[in-house]
Amino acid sequence: MLIQLNPTGVLDLLSQLEVDLLEQSSTSERYKLFRNCALAVLNVGSHTDSSLEIYNKYKDFDIRLVSRERGIKIELINPPTTAFVDGEIITGIHEHIFSVIRDILFICQKYEKDLTDQKSITHMVFDMLRNAAALRVNSDPSMIVCWGGHSINEVEYKYTKQVGYELGLRGLNICTGCGPGAMKGPMKGATIGHAKQRNPNNRYLGLTEPSIIAAEPPNPIVNELVILPDIEKRLEAFIRTAHGIIIFPGGAGTAEELLYLLGILLHPENQKQSLPVILTGPKESENYFIELCKFVEMTLGTEALDKFEVIIDNPELVGIKLKSAMANVRDYRKSQGDAYYFNWTLKIENDFQQPFSPTHKNMAGLDLHLDQPKQQLAANLRRAFSGIVAGNVKDEGIQAIKQDGRFILSGEPELMNAMDKLLRAFVEQGRMKLPGSKYTPCYEIKA
Amino acid sequence: MLIQLNPTGVLDLLSQLEVDLLEQSSTSERYKLFRNCALAVLNVGSHTDSSLEIYNKYKDFDIRLVSRERGIKIELINPPTTAFVDGEIITGIHEHIFSVIRDILFICQKYEKDLTDQKSITHMVFDMLRNAAALRVNSDPSMIVCWGGHSINEVEYKYTKQVGYELGLRGLNICTGCGPGAMKGPMKGATIGHAKQRNPNNRYLGLTEPSIIAAEPPNPIVNELVILPDIEKRLEAFIRTAHGIIIFPGGAGTAEELLYLLGILLHPENQKQSLPVILTGPKESENYFIELCKFVEMTLGTEALDKFEVIIDNPELVGIKLKSAMANVRDYRKSQGDAYYFNWTLKIENDFQQPFSPTHKNMAGLDLHLDQPKQQLAANLRRAFSGIVAGNVKDEGIQAIKQDGRFILSGEPELMNAMDKLLRAFVEQGRMKLPGSKYTPCYEIKA
Amino acid sequence: MLIQLNPTGVLDLLSQLEVDLLEQSSTSERYKLFRNCALAVLNVGSHTDSSLEIYNKYKDFDIRLVSRERGIKIELINPPTTAFVDGEIITGIHEHIFSVIRDILFICQKYEKDLTDQKSITHMVFDMLRNAAALRVNSDPSMIVCWGGHSINEVEYKYTKQVGYELGLRGLNICTGCGPGAMKGPMKGATIGHAKQRNPNNRYLGLTEPSIIAAEPPNPIVNELVILPDIEKRLEAFIRTAHGIIIFPGGAGTAEELLYLLGILLHPENQKQSLPVILTGPKESENYFIELCKFVEMTLGTEALDKFEVIIDNPELVGIKLKSAMANVRDYRKSQGDAYYFNWTLKIENDFQQPFSPTHKNMAGLDLHLDQPKQQLAANLRRAFSGIVAGNVKDEGIQAIKQDGRFILSGEPELMNAMDKLLRAFVEQGRMKLPGSKYTPCYEIKA
Amino acid sequence: MLIQLNPTGVLDLLSQLEVDLLEQSSTSERYKLFRNCALAVLNVGSHTDSSLEIYNKYKDFDIRLVSRERGIKIELINPPTTAFVDGEIITGIHEHIFSVIRDILFICQKYEKDLTDQKSITHMVFDMLRNAAALRVNSDPSMIVCWGGHSINEVEYKYTKQVGYELGLRGLNICTGCGPGAMKGPMKGATIGHAKQRNPNNRYLGLTEPSIIAAEPPNPIVNELVILPDIEKRLEAFIRTAHGIIIFPGGAGTAEELLYLLGILLHPENQKQSLPVILTGPKESENYFIELCKFVEMTLGTEALDKFEVIIDNPELVGIKLKSAMANVRDYRKSQGDAYYFNWTLKIENDFQQPFSPTHKNMAGLDLHLDQPKQQLAANLRRAFSGIVAGNVKDEGIQAIKQDGRFILSGEPELMNAMDKLLRAFVEQGRMKLPGSKYTPCYEIKA
């Protein structure tokens, strides 16, 4: 089976020089990354979060760039059939394929060297979003980032749909990390809400990264997909794009996101920022949030608790609060001369921007003691959870665990006990991996 | 609570003469009808199909036309709060309110006398659809009429969503009789399918009538709502607009629709018509279709069975078949010089156009014998089921039953037994009324 | 040569009943009118204002309605070739043809009886404009009606283009009576002004009538063409649509328009109306306006002079004044709850609405004395000039003159002298007929 | 007088890094260039082609970039008032100002080093056009490049408008070098033609360069303005964008364009190219074309004459020929897999791409002998005329002449005589400079 596709978006219009460079990119080491991401995108709807499983299943899949005078097209060889309807690729997936090419092969030509300074990293995040047409100049604040687990139970999933519906009814848009569970529910709900309100400019922004895209492939509802190179740039894209943030129940990744966010909001220069944050879930998940709040309070202090609000079992209230907060966000941005489409004034320390490589050495070396500045502690805790996510669902992490055993996390006993308790709860509640597989922890806590 | 709304659609631009006439309409006997329909539209989402219950609950609701130099606006007094989000009416419902004014108060000025000849009735149906902007000149065939019960079980409801999703993925549009159950599911599913295909011109056409709108209020997803004056014009609107028809499990109303459709398709002049009809449902509903087919075969003969196809438990196949049939529909219309947006060449006998008033006398007088021409039998059976629907959920019917007891249906024993069996099955399967109320039959079968 | 055209606008979507009625219309006495108007529209660009000449030249031209299941199309037999580019009809002319069908054959079905009461006549004017999509609900005031001669000299023509350019630069739209000269210049100028301002919604509204369309055919730039049945309804359409009015030099028709306008603005109920009126022309035309003002002062008094402003040789100032007046127009309409797109609150007495038939008897019977109420005098003077226009360029008028000789106008000597002087000036300045033909007056003034 | 303007086009959405770089650009040596180009754009409509005169008149004009969190805006100090309507800048000029910033300050950041290889230069031309949104992916061939003098007589000017009108009637778009005369006329004519055809996507593409923009400022009708860095890249942009080319009467610049074009079309690899070229003008200009053809025949041979067609006094025929040639252009591009929006397959030798600096030394050193390959001769003749244009209207050229006297052109006597004769004719016909100034030749021919 061989399918040819014409380019979409910026790849529609390439010079021959750019086509040459693209061809070179796709034959270099980047090719494997590109192929795997493309496969992930095509394989949406499969019921596994094991990228290995997917790669094995589609060994004979291939993707080729074909250059022409007037640009490129691509050929898919033996793609998963689920991406097609009566032999035609689903438009949303078609677009995603070219988002992969754009972000993995094309834009990287501009960013070959590792960026280190704050301004350059932020510029790259901005540039990738702009290049994906994900920055809208003349729109009022409306983008709600929804975080939460890819593996959540049916009650929680339904709840995320209801929240999305309430957001959609209020003309708010949705940004998630793509993937199933809490990342898909709000988009489905909002789609119905938008339809009832005749909202013609619905936005469903998906921000992902190469190492997680296979485990959490973007739902075709996502109509703006950006694949940032690593979790740190992805997190920066999330919070500079957000006009409001919702955190649903989730596992280690959700914890990482919350700690990253709090670490930044606690920065003195961000005291006046207007960025509403709501943790929410159904009645049945109340304990989850109680535990999470306890952990936050113990590690980052009561001050951190002031940065968000917890709303249990009330999707409508979540919608009302976020909608009414949009006026404040606008006023704040206006008062600062800042853009609505990108939060330039938010201070993000270099500490939060530098990629953290979750090797056994780096994980073991994390400084996990309560007696350090809150922001620094937040940064370190964020890294710890980031490593666990890698060990759970990212290819490189899984390989590392397979080879060298569990990550060892150690530090101050009080802190380690709290972490252990939290993680155990995630495991028990099935938040680490999709159901169907027994979860074997990739970490070991040592006090 | 008093809410003011500006007009939408054709009511946006009225002359003072028209405003005067509208005001006159709304103070005459039509006013009650208008108020009740408006209430029904506002009350969407309530969980009852008893219009009486609704009217009682909102006794203090009122709606007023306010005339201005530049046209009209309306005032709602004490409307159901569920129609509002943070004090703003949901756009879809806003549009529906003005569809009610347009079809109940405005267009009726043109059609005060009862129409009798075939051409005039068809013209009126056309005119009402055109006036509602529900006829699209430059579109390929894509409108799938979905019939089925308002009261169906969870498995069936999910199935209608899946079918709708498969239709949406194929760029097909949905037309239903509004209301919950099989009339809402396909629209919700199609909304998600359309979103994945980036379909910008989604159509969700709702065709209803004043006497049923309260029991089966239009879902706000409906983005073209037309309120035809009676069931006969509504049925004509359905089949002249349809490019394909799906029949899901349902009760007496669904049986009425099927018999009407078969009666017309069996007309010799309609032999060559290209109009795909599919009966479909989940595995669990297979028996339902077996019974229905038996009844059709017994009454209208095997020839009638050739007019449709039954597909069990295969939403994708339903989508594939209908999508591929669209080319035939187009070819047929083209070969006849007929429009795509309205099936002018379909022959509908006056017998099927004349309103049937379900009084005790008319019901008792129905000629229910097998030994009559098939079309005529179809017309009579259609009337019998139509009366039962009225007795179940239409205000006038319910009143009539309350006053004079059950409708008596009598005729040839073999036929009456078959009807009795079918209706019993509907009752047992809970298809007559929404769950929560015990169903008391409004009819009595006498052989 | 036979050309087939598909319908545009409202004729796109007709029922079979309407098609039947259209066919009946086109075979009745209306057919000749329809054919001649269609020919006039196709013959734009010819250099004569003699309809007879045109009709003679294209004796073998014919136009036929062809009915189909899905509506109508038309066939043109031997149309003037100037309407075509490489065998394709110019889109603007294509639209005009269907405006003719719409206004001559289609809408007349609704208005067969002669309307007499004020409200019904105004409704008809509104209905015809609405039916032509010439009423825009959500637009700010911007429509400038430009009146002036169809036969003006090169300096004056260039001046009308410059004024149009200044209007276009300010986002103002143009409405004229169609035809060449002062009716075409402002549209051409505005087209360039709009292009420089990237104005995407340019409106060039043409209001004409069957009896003048051949002499003054609509320029294809006109993108909204309405053919009102008589001059009285056309004048009403002009002033209810106008947000501002410019009067360029012209002949009897322009005088008619000015007198009509002043007669209405002098009505006590119109005292507070906000409707800027500017008389303007190049330096060379200054005397023209001096004479005109003298005539107005003598007949309608100094009060009438306050209703307009004269600006000589300053297109930019005309633009500035009208643009800045738009805010007042908007405020006034808002304060009255009136529409922007149609001036409902303007009082037009029945006297100005009733058609005046320019027979010899009616012309001779006009009451032309200074000693009568100003409005009544204005109405009578308007009729006198209207008759002269008919005698000059309208078919029926020309025939009447040919048969029975000149119209006799008589009345108070002082007034008759003034009229004589004004008309003589029009003749000398070549404003009565297009150059190339010697002008023979169609009237005789008797004191 | 201080005016602030918000950015348009790509400058709407800048990162802070880019804003920093812009600010650095505008304070460097590029600033003067930028200021002068901005002034030129604002000063459109002035009646001089002497940039010095303009610069002197507006000594107190200044333009400043103002950086904000959300990007830039600019401030104009004492701009020419003709760019404003009632205090508001004309939208077309507003866009042109930001085209200047984009092409002079912004895009240059990417191209700091001088490009030398063929592919890189072509890429830059493509990139600048793309960045200006001047490449349309899904359009059929329709772009007609019109070349001709900025100083032409009234008859010729009117003729260019008529040709533009015929092109516009046929849905063709216009590309010129901006400026008055033959560069403005076709756009004005096409605007009217497009209006009559209701063409919504009119394109008026202007390609200019910094050193000529003041002498030939872009008309605000131009709705896509690109300022290429030098004449060579500008010429490449012209012919890779063109689907057809018209050459009106003109002076040295027009001769340069024709020689460049013929030099390229004579390349063996371009034999099969489909690119219609028409030389056209009114009856009165016939001799001009006879002389030009003689010169071409003498220098480049009869083969060169086959590359174009001469049409005298027939605007409609020009329109018909070009319209019908579009199908060939499309077929050719399709057969080559080439884009419609950019002619990649056209071979342009490096010889034609390398910038030629018109110094006295370079001019004197030109190899002007008939006995050399035709393409090489074309390239050298092109340079000779290019130098004369510089000496006539480009700032650097004028300065050079002022300082060191006339350019000396020498070579084979026969060729020099022919050149002398052609140039004399240009002078006599007033084609070298706008009327009002006496023309003093900037060159001297030595055999």
- Backbone angles phi and psi of B325, in degrees to 5: -75, -20
**Chain D interface mutation, best of A69, A135, A273, A346, highest count of D Cβ atoms under 10 Å:** A69
Note whether residue C38 is domain-resident: yes
Are A105 and A125 members of one domain?
A: no
Last residue of a domain, which of A46, A80, A110? A110
Quick check: A172 and A322 in contact, CB under 8 A? yes
Per-residue pLDDT averaged across C32-51, rounded? Answer: 86
Q: What is the pLDDT of residues B288-320, one digit of tens each?
A: 999 999 999 999 999 999 999 999 999 999 999
Chain B with chain C: Cβ pairs closer than 8 A? 66
Contacting chains of C (3 CB pairs or more, <8 Å) are B, D
Note whether residue D341 is domain-resident: no
Say whether the ipTM exceeds 0.95: no
Euclidean distance between CA atoms D112 and D104, whole angstroms: 12
Note whether residue D343 is domain-resident: no
Last residue of a domain, which of A273, A307, A335? A335
Last residue of a domain, which of B78, B110, B142? B110
Kindly list the residues from chain B whose CB atom is less than 8 angstroms away from the CB atom of residue C339: 69-71
What pLDDT, on a 0 to 100 scale, did the predictor assign at position A39? 94
D touches B (3+ CB pairs < 8 Å)?
no
Note whether residue B346 is domain-resident: no
Are C221 and C325 members of one domain?
A: yes
Per-residue pLDDT averaged across D349-372, rounded? Answer: 94
Quote the tokens at residue A126: 């901005």
Q: What is the pLDDT of residues C285-297, one digit of tens each?
A: 999 999 999 999 9
Are D241 and D190 members of one domain?
A: yes
Residue B82's CATH number: 3.30.1850.10
Q: How many Å lie between the alpha carbon of B198 and the closest alpha carbon of chain A?
A: 7
pTM of the model: 0.94
Are A20 and A58 members of one domain?
A: yes
Per-residue pLDDT averaged across B59-66, rounded? Answer: 93
What pLDDT, on a 0 to 100 scale, did the predictor assign at position B115? 86
Note whether residue D391 is domain-resident: yes
* CB count in 10 Å sphere of residue D361: 10
What pLDDT, on a 0 to 100 scale, did the predictor assign at position D269? 95
Our count of domains for chain A comes to 3
Per-residue pLDDT averaged across A30-55, rounded? Answer: 85
Q: How many Å lie between the alpha carbon of B220 and the closest alpha carbon of chain A?
A: 5
Contacting chains of A (3 CB pairs or more, <8 Å) are B, D
Interface contact A15-D122, CB threshold 8 A: yes
Q: Using beta carbons and an 8 Å cutoff, which residues of A are at the interface with B?
A: 85-86, 90-92, 95, 169-170, 188, 191-192, 195-198, 200, 202, 204, 220-221, 223, 319-320, 323-324
Are A298 and A407 members of one domain?
A: no
Residues 6 or more apart from C325 whose CB is under 8 A from it? C244, C274, C276
3-state class (DSSP) for residue C118: helix
Euclidean distance between CA atoms C207 and C238, whole angstroms: 7
DSSP bridge partners of D247: D147, D279
Say whether pLDDT at C47 is over 80.
no
Per-residue pLDDT averaged across A385-397, rounded? Answer: 90
pLDDT above 70 coverage of chain C, percent: 100
Are C277 and C365 members of one domain?
A: no
B touches C (3+ CB pairs < 8 Å)?
yes
Say whether pLDDT at D5 is over 80.
yes
Note whether residue C116 is domain-resident: no
Per-residue pLDDT averaged across B48-52, rounded? Answer: 78
What pLDDT, on a 0 to 100 scale, did the predictor assign at position D174? 98
Euclidean distance between CA atoms C206 and C184, whole angstroms: 10
Are A267 and A196 members of one domain?
A: yes
Nearest to A69 among D130, D137, D336 (CB): D336
Interface contact A15-D123, CB threshold 8 A: yes
Euclidean distance between CA atoms A175 and A181, whole angstroms: 14
Q: What is the pLDDT of residues C315-335, one digit of tens each?
A: 999 999 999 999 999 999 999
Are C157 and C303 members of one domain?
A: yes
Quote the tokens at residue D62: 């200044």
pLDDT above 70 coverage of chain A, percent: 100
Say whether pLDDT at C357 is over 90.
yes
What pLDDT, on a 0 to 100 scale, did the predictor assign at position C255? 94
Interface contact C339-B135, CB threshold 8 A: no
Say whether pLDDT at B321 is over 90.
yes
**pLDDT, chain A, mean:** 93
DSSP bridge partners of B278: B246, B309
Residues 6 or more apart from D81 whose CB is under 8 A from it? D1
What pLDDT, on a 0 to 100 scale, did the predictor assign at position C354? 93
What pLDDT, on a 0 to 100 scale, did the predictor assign at position A44? 87
Which one is predicted more confidently, C206 or C395?
A: C206
Residue D244's CATH number: 3.40.50.450
Q: What is each CA distance from D263 to A96, D97, D231, D301, in whole angstroms? A: 45, 34, 15, 11
3-state class (DSSP) for residue A445: strand
Note whether residue A349 is domain-resident: no
* Confidence category of residue C267, pLDDT binned at 50, 70, 90: very high
Are B149 and B279 members of one domain?
A: yes
Range of the domain at A278: 119-335
Per-residue pLDDT averaged across C375-398, rounded? Answer: 92
Nearest to B69 among C17, C119, C339 (CB): C339
Nearest to C120 among B17, B123, B126 (CB): B17
Quote the tokens at residue D366: 């030109």
Quote the tokens at residue C208: 């004409």
Are B401 and B315 members of one domain?
A: no
Are C355 and C381 members of one domain?
A: yes
Which one is predicted more confidently, A433 or C42?
A: C42
What pLDDT, on a 0 to 100 scale, did the predictor assign at position C21? 87
Q: What is each CA distance from D241 to B124, D236, D339, in whole angstroms? A: 54, 8, 10
Per-residue pLDDT averaged across C366-385, rounded? Answer: 94
Distance in Å from the first CA to the final CA of chain C: 55
What pLDDT, on a 0 to 100 scale, did the predictor assign at position C215? 85
Contacting chains of B (3 CB pairs or more, <8 Å) are A, C
Note whether residue A341 is domain-resident: no
Q: What is the pLDDT of residues A210-257, one digit of tens each?
A: 989 988 899 999 999 999 999 999 999 999 999 999 999 999 999 999
Residue A411 has what DSSP assignment?
B
Quick check: C423 and C307 in contact, CB under 8 A? no
Q: What is each CA distance from C426 to A23, C152, C255, C411, C439, in whole angstroms? A: 77, 10, 10, 20, 11
Are D184 and D103 members of one domain?
A: no
Say whether pLDDT at B113 is over 90.
no
Residues 6 or more apart from D314 whose CB is under 8 A from it? D280
pLDDT above 90 coverage of chain B, percent: 78
